[in-house]
């Protein structure tokens, strides 16, 4: 397992997600996005979700749509996930969300700290 984040630092991002969208609702939206054809849902050269596919709650979660990116490492939805980024300068926070079978172990190279919120959903801090 990757480094585990200090829960005090993780609490603010988790509270924001829970208050604005809800963790289960965010995961459900991600699973729906991953199930669609990437050419329909994503901006080709950036991997960002096209604005018309963002729900009002997801849009309220981040300051800019470019903060939401999808990663399909092998081109299929089975191993895809979404990450949402906040911050800048010396501190960044992310939420990695995939289906309940998603784990961050395969996508971490020792950078940052993770905290599993539920199956398939992780908070991250750098």
Residue 6: predicted pLDDT = 55
CA angle (118, 123, 125) in 5-degree steps: 160
Encode pLDDT of 53-70 as tens digits: 999 999 888 877 668 888
Q: Could you tell me if residue 2 is inside a domain? A: no
What's the number of domains the chain is made of? 1
User: For the chain, how many helices (H) and strands (E)?
Assistant: 4, 5
Q: Could you tell me if residue 18 is inside a domain? A: yes
Residue 86: predicted pLDDT = 81
Q: What is the pTM of this model?
A: 0.83
Q: What whole-number distance in Å separates Cα of residue 85 and Cα of residue 35?
A: 22
Q: What percent of the chain has pLDDT over 90?
A: 25
Q: Which domain holds residue 66?
A: 7-125
């Amino acid at each position: 397992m990757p480094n585990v984040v200090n829960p005090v630092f993780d609490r603010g991002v988790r509270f924001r997600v829970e208050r604005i969208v809800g963790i289960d609702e965010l995961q459900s939206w991600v699973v729906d996005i991953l199930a669609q054809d990437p050419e329909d849902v994503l901006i080709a050269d950036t991997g960002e979700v096209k604005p018309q596919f963002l729900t009002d709650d997801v849009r309220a979660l981040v300051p800019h749509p470019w903060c939401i990116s999808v990663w399909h490492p092998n081109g299929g939805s089975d191993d895809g996930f979404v990450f949402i980024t906040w911050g800048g300068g010396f501190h960044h926070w992310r939420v990695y969300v995939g289906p309940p079978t998603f784990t961050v172990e395969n996508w971490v190279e020792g950078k940052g700290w993770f905290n599993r919120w539920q199956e398939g959903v992780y908070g991250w801090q750098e």
